[in-house]
Amino acid sequence: MARAIAVSERVRGTTSPNPPVGCVILDAGGEPVGEGATRPPGQAHAEVVALARAGDRARGGTAVVTLEPCNHHGRTPPCTGALLAAGVARVVHAVADPNPGAAGGADALRAAGVEVGSGLLAEEVERGPLRAWLHFARTGRPHVTWKYAATLDGRVAAADGTGRWIGSAESRAESHDLRAKVDAVVVGTGTVRVDDPRLTARPTGPGPAPARQPLRVVVGTGDLPAGARVLDDEAETVHVRTHDPDVVLGELARRGVVDVLLEGGPTLAGAFTAARRVDRVLAYLVPRLSGSGAPAMRDTGVSAVAGAVGMVVEQVSMCGPDVRVSAVPDR
């Protein structure tokens, strides 16, 4: 299952509105003989890709898959049918499919005599590759990660407004990897006016440039300055003229966006927090002290400590010299 998760990580950002699923086929003796991940919408699911690689060696073997195999004719035929046709004896999945249309795969496989196990590394899958899609399937809303870099005293810019990227080179490189894995990057019109970001994924590591760019989304009623870099032709850009996070998320859901990276600025982050539409916070705390300039977030409507939004820290780790904190709402 750890291998299936790793395989699925490689297709993150390319499958929406479908989930990025990973699958490993073991032969009857337990040796891995094929692996695969979900192809873009309308193309093969993970199981079908992995079964094609395994060929005859799948017979009597085990399929290990991060999501319960689908049991429906959607854009593609059911994976349950493909698994049965290949003669797989056992299926182990991490999490059940919450999509009512596709669910029921485990029961259908059992009814056909296949041994089915579930829950293996379920928490890793729910927090990792399928987090955004599971949230989308359960709520109908895209999953929002608010990401920012701030000094230890919580400032994202100095008093003169400079704050283009306050984090270390390591955090900056990671932010490009993050953009390459999401469907959309969202900022406010204020950020476009002040920072003029490109909002594209520009990973620095070895390997090819990203095959696709996230949708660039600018939120706010103000106009975009002519010549703003988000208006270049490196990626698609939409301007949603509202201050209401639910209007933004509704528009993004309509476009098949599942996984959203909210990159700022402080006013937009405050609006999403006030509306309880931040599903995860990813903070890079930079070992510097500023003492002046913009805070990471404003205008949440919270006026007393007792009213602050409760969070649970999932993980604390280092990114170069910066401290990386991942936290989710306490609800």
* Cα separations in angstroms, 201 against 78, 197, 263, 279: 34, 11, 13, 22
Binder of residue 74, out of ligand AOF, Zn ion, none (CB less than 5 to 8 A by kind)? ligand AOF
CB of 69 to ligand AOF, least distance (A): 4
Residues numbered 56-95 forming contacts with ligand AOF, rule: CB under 6 A? 67, 69-70, 74-76, 79
Q: Closer to Zn ion at the Cβ: 79 or 185?
A: 79
Task: Please indicate if the annotation marks 268 as binding a ligand.
Answer: yes
- Among the residue ranges 18-26, 138-146, 149-157, 259-267, the one whose residues contact ligand AOF (CB under 6 A): 18-26
CB of 104 to Zn ion, least distance (A): 12
Residues in the chain: 331
Q: Are 270 and 297 in contact (CB under 8 A)?
A: yes
What CA–CA distance (Å, rounded) separates 174 from 294?
23
Establish if 45 lies at the interface with Zn ion (CB under 5 A). yes
Binder of residue 71, out of Zn ion, ligand AOF, none (CB less than 5 to 8 A by kind)? none
Question: Is 47 one of the catalytic residues?
Answer: yes
* Residue of 9, 35, 47, 234 marked catalytic: 47
- Among the residue ranges 69-77, 183-191, 228-236, 291-299, the one whose residues contact Zn ion (CB under 5 A): 69-77
What CA–CA distance (Å, rounded) separates 47 from 69?
8
Which residue from 1, 7, 21, 50 is in contact with ligand AOF, where contact means CB under 6 A? Answer: 21
Within 10 Å of residue 7's Cβ, how many Cβ atoms? 23
Binder of residue 19, out of ligand AOF, Zn ion, none (CB less than 5 to 8 A by kind)? ligand AOF
Residues numbered 100-159 forming contacts with Zn ion, rule: CB under 5 A? none
* CB-based burial, 219-258: b 16+ in 10 Å, e otherwise: bbeeeeeeebbbeeeebebbbbeeeebeebbebbbeeebb
Task: Please indicate if the annotation marks 319 as binding a ligand.
Answer: no
Residues 31-60, one symbol each (x = binds ligand AOF by CB under 6 A, - = not), give: -------x------xxx-------------
Within 10 Å of residue 143's Cβ, how many Cβ atoms? 22
Site of tokens 């994202």: 156
Between vectors from CA 158 to CA 157 and to CA 159, what angle results, nearest 5°?
120
User: Distance from first CA to last CA of the chain, Å, rounded?
Assistant: 28
Binding site residues for substrate, as ranges? 179, 202, 263
List interacting residues with Zn ion (CB under 5 A): 45, 70, 79
Give catalytic residues, as residue numbers.
Answer: 47
Binding site residues for Zn(2+), as ranges? 45, 70, 79
